[in-house]
Amino acid sequence: MKVISLLLALACCAAAPVVLAQNTPAKPAAKPPAKAAESKTLAIGGGGSGGTGAGPLLSREELRACLNEEESIRTRMAEQEGARSPLDQEKAAIAAEQQQLRADRAPIDATKAKVEELAAKLKAFAERVQGWNDRVALHNADKKSGTPAYERNMVTLNREREEIEKDRVALEAERTSMSSGAQDAVRAYNFKAVALDARVSAWNERNAKWNESLAALEDERKTWVRTCADRRYREDDEIAIRRGK
């Protein structure tokens, strides 16, 4: 059957040459060679396919450098922020200690007032003693010894000497007591104040270094923004970099 059908078909073709010529279908045009799939373009910091980032397309090595620098800056920024908390905590502790030191200063100031008051008493006592000594010298120089007036003056001077001695003993006891207590209080206060000053100075140095480090990191970040942020790159390059190529 296949042979017969073929022959019949050929016979038909020979009998109608014109019809065949008119109805021969056009030869289809050759297909252009398939283009290689283009890599999708993205932009650092955002943007989808055909990213609209500024500047020329990054090479793979430039992209690698930008990604590495971004990760480095991000890591150091996190470390920088982590170092801020201990500084703030110590600052609060220092402020509390300064407040306590101000409270400790109150009794010191009260003692200082008492010391000044005692100093005024001792000055007045010294002037009193000097006046008594001057009168004693005049009495001893008096040539009218043995007279009633002379004897009365001598009694007065001796009585005043006894009073002066009593006052001297009382003032000496007050000075000894006050000196001991005041010196201990002042010594303890000064020790705390010196230690606190040293702590404040050390904190200021660490805080200054923290600020310097932050400023340097911010400069790096700004440089990265200028050179890398929103730059276009090929997605295939990023994939290769992530795979260690």
Please state the length of the chain. 245
Specify whether the backbone of 146 is left (phi greater than 0), alpha (psi in -120 to 50) or beta: left
Is 31 contained in some domain?
Answer: no
Structure confidence at residue 54 (pLDDT) = 61
Is 23 contained in some domain?
Answer: no
What range does the domain containing 196 cover?
106-227
Number of domains in the chain: 1
Strands 41-43 and 232-234: antiparallel
- Residue 178's nearest CA partner among 85, 112, 230 is 112
The b/e string for 37-57 (b: 16+ C-beta within 10 A; e otherwise) is: eeeebbbbeeeeeebebeeee
Per the structure block, which two tokens stand in for 198? 């040293």
Is 194 contained in some domain?
Answer: yes
Is 121 contained in some domain?
Answer: yes
Is 245 contained in some domain?
Answer: no
Range list of H helices, the chain: 2-15, 17-23, 60-141, 148-227, 235-242
Distance separating alpha carbons of residues 239 and 65, to the nearest angstrom: 14
pLDDT in tens, the chain (245 residues): 333 222 223 233 333 333 323 344 445 555 555 444 566 888 887 544 444 556 689 999 999 999 999 999 999 999 999 999 999 999 999 999 999 999 988 888 888 788 888 889 999 999 999 999 999 999 888 877 778 888 888 899 999 999 999 999 999 988 887 776 777 888 888 899 999 999 999 999 999 999 999 999 999 999 999 889 888 999 998 899 889 88
Structure confidence at residue 14 (pLDDT) = 34
Is 139 contained in some domain?
Answer: yes
Q: With contact defined as beta carbons under 8 Å apart, do 171 and 121 qualify?
A: yes
Is 199 contained in some domain?
Answer: yes
Is 37 contained in some domain?
Answer: no
